[in-house]
Amino acid sequence: MIHLSKRYWLLYCTLSAWNCCACKVVISKDRIAALEWQATKSAADVIAARENVMCEIERKGKEFWSNGSAQNWLDSAEPTVRKVVESVNGPLLKYLGEKAMHADLECIELLRRGAPLYGQLETCGNGPVKDSIAIGEIDELKANCRESNVQLIKKLRNDPWEQELHNLALEDAKLGRMTWPEPVSEEQIRSVRLNQRFGVEQGLKPNGDVKVRAVDNMSWGYSSEVSRPKKRPRQSVNGCSAIPEKIMHHHVDDLAVAIKLFIQLMACIPGLIKADVKAAFRRIPLLPAHRWAAAIAYKLGDEVMVACHNACMFGASSSVYNWERIGELITVIAIKWLGICVYRYVDDFFAPERAESMEHAMQCIARLVRAVLGHDAIENRKLDCGLSLVVLGVRCQLSTAGLCLFPEPSKVQKWAAGIRDALKNGILCAGASQKLAGRLSWAQTHLFHKLGRAMLRPIFDQRWTRSGKYRKCYV
């Protein structure tokens, strides 16, 4: 144990006092081992050791491509699946996962054979097992395709971002992640399950244009039977999906615990790093037999346009679970191979690091993800590091005086605008509610005294909505 100087004692005591509260966050043994390994070396030695490991990983990846192993792995996949994962190095993922002794190596098969969209998903051991729940019947969902599609088409309205939605569909079609959009036909109305697509504004692109995310309401369901308002819509794709385990997302609480141990071991203020995987869900192909339920519909002018997904989409419950398995594998590899105490919230990686080595650690995570998922998996603009950094929407500032956390003002304005739009229109669709709840999840952490826990519950519950309408509550 390193003796702490007065310079860092106040910060350590601040984190210790917070940790004595009701917070039950426990740092994993692997992350403790990663920090203890760093503490035995200088920053320069850590950088040199990680660089050697990364060079070995990249050399092994090139070897799998040159000897045909990676190509043979791709060729064993169904053609449409292969198109989605054409830059994935399956043998490298397996090699790294085996060496890291990861328990869920079966998740790699999701990339080769396709991931399920509905049904009882398989247990993987990454989280506590949930109680079983009743789900809708797939045969019934398939049988009433025409009836449901006719009702959906009647309810479709022109989206304010309809042209952007169409452009996004065209971009995905070029990448093989969905079929080319076309005007709806009678054959499609009879044979596939249509789900509503809508746009959600997400700020500005680097060039100043508005960034729009396409969200697919996979909770859409039509039934001729009258159901109770709070009854889960089983006659929908999400209603026919059962996630067997609780998904354990990391939050700023976890980061604070890691920072405390970091200071205790290394007697210095850590920097922070983060990296964001681009289009994480869309990198996982769908099981070919499930594509009939993955069709989406939106209006473009007077035309109803239809396309079918070949990859996991934003808005499906199964997409979150499928990516969670792949994301956890990459996280374990980063911890055990590179000795980085990395955490992850969906597709966002973040970790504490020495100021001298934080940029190299950030680049190592990017190089690792690119080596296994493809060169475009992480964009440079989605990498950042520093003593002050926005992590999961919260500005984290570290100094000898303590750890200061507050919602990033620019993001607060964006969140508030989204809430105002929902209140004005009286609509908060399932996919948009999940996104908003995720953005505001910092409010239910112990660091913020869980003040937002009760207020976020109605937003989370909107994921079961069919129409997107919500009930107003007057206080």
List, as one string, the DSSP characters of 210-276: EEEEEEEETT----SS---TTS---SSTGGGEE--B------HHHHHHHHHHHHHHH-S--EEEEEE
- In terms of Cα–Cα distance, which of 153, 169, 190 is closest to 299? 153
Which one of 2-16, 197-211, 404-418 scores highest in mean pLDDT?
197-211
The contacts of residue 61 (CB under 8 Å, 6+ apart) are 70, 89, 92, 371, 372
CA distances to 102, 134, 198, 253, 386 from 396, in Å: 31, 42, 33, 12, 10
* β partners of residue 396: 389, 405
Structure token digits, residue 94 = 């397996």
Burial of 458 (C-beta count, 10 Å sphere; 0-12/13-18/19+) = middle
Of the listed ranges 120-129, 166-175, 222-231, 354-363, the one predicted with least confidence: 222-231
Instruction: For residue 67, give the DSSP letter.
Output: T
Return the C-alpha torsion angle 450, 322, 192, 150, nearest 10. Answer: 0
Collapse the DSSP code of 203 into the 3-class scheme (helix H, G, I; strand E, B; otherwise coil) and give the result: strand
Burial of 387 (C-beta count, 10 Å sphere; 0-12/13-18/19+) = middle
Judge whether residue 412 has pLDDT over 80.
no
Judge whether residue 138 has pLDDT over 80.
yes
Of the listed ranges 138-142, 223-227, 304-308, the one predicted with least confidence: 223-227
Judge whether residue 226 has pLDDT over 70.
no
**pLDDT of amino acid 207:** 79
Judge whether residue 53 has pLDDT over 90.
yes
Judge whether residue 464 has pLDDT over 60.
no
pLDDT band at 474 (very low <50, low <70, confident <90, very high): very low
Task: Determine contact, residues 298/376, Cβ cutoff 8 Å.
Answer: no
Q: What is the mean pLDDT of residues 406-413?
A: 75
Query: What pTM was computed for the model?
Result: 0.85
Q: Which residue has the higher pLDDT, 215 or 368?
A: 368
- In terms of Cα–Cα distance, which of 57, 30, 107, 38 is closest to 332? 30
